[in-house]
Structure 1
């Protein structure tokens, strides 16, 4: 559906040259919900704009539906762009036009009759849950409703691809989830290929099938959602995942809590993660019965990523070193990733008047 080959974007002026995107290769299949995640300045928004040539690449090729966009003549490119919808962070609605008029705007040169356009606009507003807002103006809508209008407008020309550039960044968490749920429904109902640009791994976790992580203009890691979340290789990927799972925050709080971490000589702190069927197995209980090792769970959660259960635990394992080693070996044989965490010394609180 979308293939980027060695795509680079360089901005140059008299003072400096900036390589916003450098030698990116991506393959996005038809029907995918593909997330591109990175911090501000990573190059992700520049990259997504190359997919419809709103940003011309300095080098490389952009292939959409088997067409190399860089080889198309202006008229052919305009026609192809109609099949690539796009929504933005700040909605870009026309304040002086009604909601129906905003959605109808892309159809003004479509050749459809006025009646056909009205029917199509009504269908689109129904699709995004705003049938009762056709006569309203953007100023009368909430942020989530405005984004729904923007989505309806982007769907006016029956696109095969929808590009979402930080489309939920201006929304509160509850509204963000409702927009992501709508995008998920559109992906399934319309077989729509969706590319989501975001700096929030929570967004990726909720909706994406596959994900690419960008840093300094490069794609540093890519893969399917479950693999990225359970076996991240790059430091930046791990940072993003920790923000979505809250595992790091839990570890940090526990390490700072002396009553929880008064470890005895035969105790160790361990982090565990497991995927799929392992989440439903009573593996922790088996440690006591089979190896004489008890496990005190300090933190735990199970999430469903693309219908696959993924679990995280932070536990204190108690027992003789030899028994613990056998228990950990058993867990690993059951496809559980186990990492021992070095206990950090707890710094006691010191009152200001005690400092000399």
Structure 2
């Protein structure tokens, strides 16, 4: 569906050269809701514009819908872009036109009969839940309604792909969820492939099945959402995940409490992560029963990602050295992940991987 190979984008600003994308390989399959996440300046907006050649790469190959975009003539590229819709953070609606006319605008040059255009616009506005706003102007709409109009407009030419560049960043949390619900429905009903650019891992968690994490123009980690959330390999990825799950903030508060942070010399502070059916099993109480190890749960969290439970615990294990070693070996056999944390201060950062 979308294949980017060896993509580099550089900008020359006087005596300075800025690298916005470096050696990027990325594949988005048909039907994906693919998230690209990174902080401001990471290069993610540049990358999404490469996908429809609003930004031409300095080098590399761009293949979308089976077409090598860099080899197309201008007329062919304009035709190819009609199958790639795009929405933005600030909606980009025409203030002097009604909702109806904003959605109609992409069809102006179409040879479609007027009656068919009218029916198309009305169907799209019904699809996004705004059939009662035909005659309204953008100034009369809420932020969420404006974005729904932008989505309807982007769908006017029946694209196979929808690119969303920070499309929820200007919206409040409740409205953001409603827009993500709409995008999820469009993905299911229309078979629409969606690429979401965001600096919020919460957005990725809610809707995406795959994610790529960007930093300084490069993709530092990518994969399916369950694997990334359950076993992040890069510090930046862990940072984003902890923000989305509020894990780091919550654990930091817990561990700063003197009575909770107090540990014996032989105690083991660890983070236990598990996926799927393991989330419903009594793993902690099981090791207490089997090995006589005391387990003090300081924090627990479960997320459901793409219908798969992903859980994590911060636990203090207490007992004799041999009992603790046996308990950790047992955990190893259960296909769960244990990060041993050297100190309470490292509870939000990860530690030595022992399982």
TM-based fold match above 0.5: yes
User: For residue 121 of structure 2, what is the aligned residue in structure 1?
Assistant: 121
User: For residue 23 of structure 1, what is the aligned residue in structure 2?
Assistant: 23
Contact 2:210 2:223 in 1 (8 A): yes
Return the alpha-carbon distance in structure 2 between the equivalents of residues 334 and 312 of structure 1.
14
Return the alpha-carbon distance in structure 1 between the equivalents of residues 316 and 344 of structure 2.
14
What's the offset of the Cα at 1:344? 4.9
Whether 1:216 and 2:216 are equivalent positions in the alignment is yes
TM-score, normalization by structure 1: 0.94
Contact 1:302 1:309 in 2 (8 A): yes
Contact 2:107 2:157 in 1 (8 A): yes
Return the alpha-carbon distance in structure 2 between the equivalents of residues 328 and 173 of structure 1.
40
Return the alpha-carbon distance in structure 2 between the equivalents of residues 36 and 262 of structure 1.
40
Aligned 1:272-287 pairs, distance under 5 A: 272-287=272-287
Return the alpha-carbon distance in structure 1 between the equivalents of residues 59 and 266 of structure 2.
59
Return the alpha-carbon distance in structure 2 between the equivalents of residues 120 and 332 of structure 1.
57
Deviates more, 1:110-119 or 1:30-39: 110-119
Q: Which runs of 5+ in 2 are unaligned?
A: 346-355
User: For residue 166 of structure 1, what is the aligned residue in structure 2?
Assistant: 166
What's the offset of the Cα at 1:297? 1.4
What's the offset of the Cα at 1:266? 4.4
Contact 2:62 2:68 in 1 (8 A): yes
Contact 2:187 2:193 in 1 (8 A): yes
User: For residue 236 of structure 2, what is the aligned residue in structure 1?
Assistant: 236
Return the alpha-carbon distance in structure 2 between the equivalents of residues 303 and 96 of structure 1.
44
Return the alpha-carbon distance in structure 1 between the equivalents of residues 142 and 326 of structure 2.
57
User: For residue 334 of structure 1, what is the aligned residue in structure 2?
Assistant: 334
User: For residue 46 of structure 1, what is the aligned residue in structure 2?
Assistant: 46
Q: After the TM superposition, which parts of structure 1 deviate over 4 Å for at least 4 consecutive aligned residues? A: none
Return the alpha-carbon distance in structure 2 between the equivalents of residues 132 and 331 of structure 1.
57
Q: Deviations over 1:235-268 (max 9, x none)?
A: 2111111111222222322221101122234433
User: For residue 102 of structure 1, what is the aligned residue in structure 2?
Assistant: 102
What's the offset of the Cα at 1:185? 0.6
User: For residue 82 of structure 2, what is the aligned residue in structure 1?
Assistant: 82
SS at match of 1:117: helix
SS at match of 1:4: strand
Contact 1:255 1:343 in 2 (8 A): no
User: For residue 290 of structure 2, what is the aligned residue in structure 1?
Assistant: 290
User: For residue 60 of structure 2, what is the aligned residue in structure 1?
Assistant: 60
What's the offset of the Cα at 1:342? 2.4
Aligned residues: 345
Return the alpha-carbon distance in structure 2 between the equivalents of residues 198 and 223 of structure 1.
16
What's the offset of the Cα at 1:67? 0.5
User: For residue 35 of structure 1, what is the aligned residue in structure 2?
Assistant: 35
SS at match of 2:52: coil
Return the alpha-carbon distance in structure 1 between the equivalents of residues 28 and 262 of structure 2.
50
Return the alpha-carbon distance in structure 1 between the equivalents of residues 227 and 320 of structure 2.
34
User: For residue 257 of structure 1, what is the aligned residue in structure 2?
Assistant: 257
Contact 2:20 2:46 in 1 (8 A): yes
Contact 2:32 2:210 in 1 (8 A): yes
What's the offset of the Cα at 1:159? 0.1
Return the alpha-carbon distance in structure 1 between the equivalents of residues 39 and 207 of structure 2.
19
Whether 1:156 and 2:169 are equivalent positions in the alignment is no
TM-score, normalization by structure 2: 0.95
User: For residue 350 of structure 2, what is the aligned residue in structure 1?
Assistant: none
Q: Deviations over 1:32-64 (max 9, x none)?
A: 111111111111100100111111111111101
Return the alpha-carbon distance in structure 1 between the equivalents of residues 264 and 50 of structure 2.
57
Contact 1:221 1:237 in 2 (8 A): yes
Contact 1:9 1:21 in 2 (8 A): yes
Deviates more, 1:245-254 or 1:234-243: 245-254
Contact 1:44 1:214 in 2 (8 A): yes
User: For residue 315 of structure 2, what is the aligned residue in structure 1?
Assistant: 315
Contact 1:10 1:19 in 2 (8 A): yes
